[in-house]
Structure 1
């Protein structure tokens, strides 16, 4: 371990203005980000490194300026939507900021960068309404042993993330208090699997469950090993579970949504039912309410319009 760190430090010390930028970027994130960020985030750094090799194979640190950096962003944006380009910019900017601090680049070329992107593709429906969800749930095959349909039910009733649902064990249920402890996830992106921490500290939470659902799960898990994940029997693929969900959606003639769409459905129905944004944020494990507000802005605006109508009717009745 120490040898690897020394080798990496030596590489960075040998960096000059003639060093290829993609080489600097790779050595930078391997030193500063590996072990400090989640594996999924680190994989995005590797993906962006490969994009740098494709888009700017000969660009050196000494040739990075506002013009060359903007051209890099423009080239990336030709095949990516604006939000993806923004994510690319943020990761690249981190390395460039350090290069400026180290005197490898004269001034920050990312200042006032213009983020572009191709037109967004037509978005699939993100959530179902109450009647569509009821139809979907009625089509689930909830047999005596755990299967993907049981996991669809759990996500629909709790709003768990996919990896959180995979990490659920019988021990996580508190049947007396009708709640589920979310305290870990399952690393389904690695063929070896295994438990891993939640997305952030706010993701650790207790989620209340309605009595009918908690009774169903109490019967399901009563003879199962307490610390073994309910839904993992081997390698897990997100696409497999999404396909199962799609089959139910098509059979019941409701909009086809993804597993993450079930989480959106859960939150959306709670907001429409009048549950506060703060409560929904805690239930979803969001780190702050801003995330919830941004994700469900369209619903919040619709609810505000309904509130305005109520206010006007009330004030008119005071005459």
Structure 2
């Protein structure tokens, strides 16, 4: 189709008809192109997208994927996906036609990702590599299901990385008590870590807490929301999963601590956040505490692992623990079972005693 010169402005424009997704003809006009070539290229890409012509490039397909999928995810989740698409997928596959990308291309990209090293010589983690591959596969799956792509080359190439990194990091109760001593000089940090360790809530859940979430008579805290810092603004979202909405019973000493802490907050309102810090603040404070006490370094999320590990060691069932910490499935909780091998020894010893008692009876 032709492009037209706007003689008054000295720019180019396109004007044409196309069929929308329900077969109805619509007129489209786009102005302001510096050259005729730019105008025709824009028209070509527009028509490919509207007709689902997979001769389009990967970077031209991405806006279709975004338009279809963006509103189906929480904002924080989508920002992560969008970052991966923009920084890891488009730079490699962007100029290639969707219909021409094959499994060998994906394998070459995988090798590049697995061979990547930062300036400090650090490679991407196995979990991050799997996340990258999963996002690439999601784009191609979308093209297969909804735009007529014959096959998913990422699925044909096979996965890379793995779902979980190494062993779960956690502290024993002794290690935690040693660490928390270093936090007593900053009440906000002290009470934040107390909540994380003794309730097992997530960082985002902690940072969203308000006075209204606590019922000190019943000794409970209601987890109904999560805090995120996104693009320089504070965002309150739903918790991670449906089962993350829960009421957590608190030990009485923790109730007393948090009640006293809230009383120290000047003019705090029922719906004000009581820990007005960010995840970065918690990370820095944890680094400080580990350095001062010599306790091994773990991630802030490791306090959640530590709480679960403590409950396992105390003999609580996987079902009860999953309910307390908001696991979507008890299968997630069972992943922690290896953290206390002494339990295995205890079980074996009890079984041995049972056998000896049976033999004595006969």
Structure 1 segments, 4+ long, off by >4 Å, are 6-11
Q: Which residue of 2 aligns with 1:27?
A: 63
Cα distance between partner residues in 1 of 2:140 and 2:305:
36
Trace 1:201-220 onto structure 2 (pairs within 5 A): 201-220=242-261
1:170/1:230 contact within 8 Å kept = yes
CA contact (8 A) 2:137 2:154 kept: yes
Q: Deviations over 1:51-94 (max 9, x none)?
A: 11222243211212232233333333333333322222222222
Shift, 1:14, TM fit = 4.2
Post-superposition CA distance 1:4-55 (Å, at most 9, x none): xx9999773244232111331x213321221211122212222221211222
TM-score, length basis structure 2: 0.75
SS of residue in 2 equivalent to 1:188: strand
Q: Which residue of 1 aligns with 2:112?
A: 75
- Quick one: distance in 2 between partners of 1:157 and 1:9? 55
Q: Deviations over 1:147-191 (max 9, x none)?
A: 122111111111111110011111111111111111111222342
Given that residues 165 and 185 in structure 1 are in contact (C-alpha distance below 8 angstroms), is that contact kept between their aligned partners in structure 2? yes
In the alignment, structure 1 residue 141 sits paired with structure 2 residue 184: yes
Task: Give TM-score, length-normalised by structure 1.
Answer: 0.84
Structure index of larger Rg? 2
1:174 to 192, 202, 215: 215
Rounded Cα–Cα distance in structure 2 between residues aligned with 1:214 and 1:185: 21
SS in 2 for 1:116: coil
Distance in 2 (alpha carbons) for counterparts of 1:192 and 1:41: 16
Q: Assess, with a 3 A threshold, how the Cα gap between structure 1 residues 183 and 48 changes in structure 2: closer, same or farther.
A: same
Does the CA contact (< 8 Å) of 1:55 and 1:75 recur in 2?
A: no
Aligned 8 A contact 1:166 1:186 in 2: yes
Q: Which residues of structure 1 form unaligned runs of 5+?
A: 1-5
Shift in alpha-carbon separation, 1:240–1:102, aligned structure 2, 3 A: closer
Q: Is the 8 A contact 1:270 1:280 kept in 2?
A: yes
| Contact kept? 1:65, 1:109, Cα under 8 Å | yes
Give 1:279 shift.
Answer: 1.4
For residues 156 and 46 of structure 1, the distance between their equivalents in structure 2, rounded to whole angstroms, comes to 33
- Tell me how far 1:318 sits from its aligned partner: 2.9
Q: RCO (CA 8 Å, sep 6+): is it higher in 1 or 2?
A: 1
Secondary structure of 1:256 counterpart: coil
CA deviation profile, 1:128-150 (whole Å, cap 9, x unmatched): 1121112223333277xx61221
> 1:59 corresponds to which residue?
96
- Name the SS of the counterpart of 1:17 in structure 2: coil
Q: 1:67 to 1:84 in 2, by over 3 A?
A: same
Deviation at 1:116, TM superposition (A): 3.1
Q: Does 1:39 align with 2:62?
A: no
Q: How does 1:259-274 map to 2 (within 5 A)?
A: 259-274=300-315
CA RMSD of aligned residues (A): 2.9
Whether 1:311 and 2:348 are equivalent positions in the alignment is: no
Q: Residue 196 and residue 264 in structure 1: after superposition, are their counterparts in 2 closer, same or farther (change >3 A)?
A: same
Do structure 1's residue 131 and structure 2's residue 166 form an aligned pair? no
> Which 5+ residue runs of structure 2 have no aligned equivalent?
1-25, 29-44, 117-123
Task: State the distance in 2 between where 1:92 and 1:70 align.
Answer: 12
User: Number of residue pairs matched?
Assistant: 305
Residues 1:189 and 2:189 are matched in the alignment: no
Alpha-carbon offset, residue 210 of structure 1: 0.7
Show the counterpart of 1:101: 145
Judged with a 3 Å threshold, the aligned counterparts in structure 2 of structure 1 residues 37 and 136 are, in CA distance, closer, same or farther, namely same
Alpha-carbon distance in 1 for matches of 2:320, 2:49: 47
- Give the secondary structure class of the aligned counterpart of 2:286: helix
The 10-residue stretch of structure 1 (169-178 or 70-79) with the greater mean CA deviation from structure 2: 70-79
Paired residues of 2:191 and 2:257 also in contact (CA < 8 A)? no
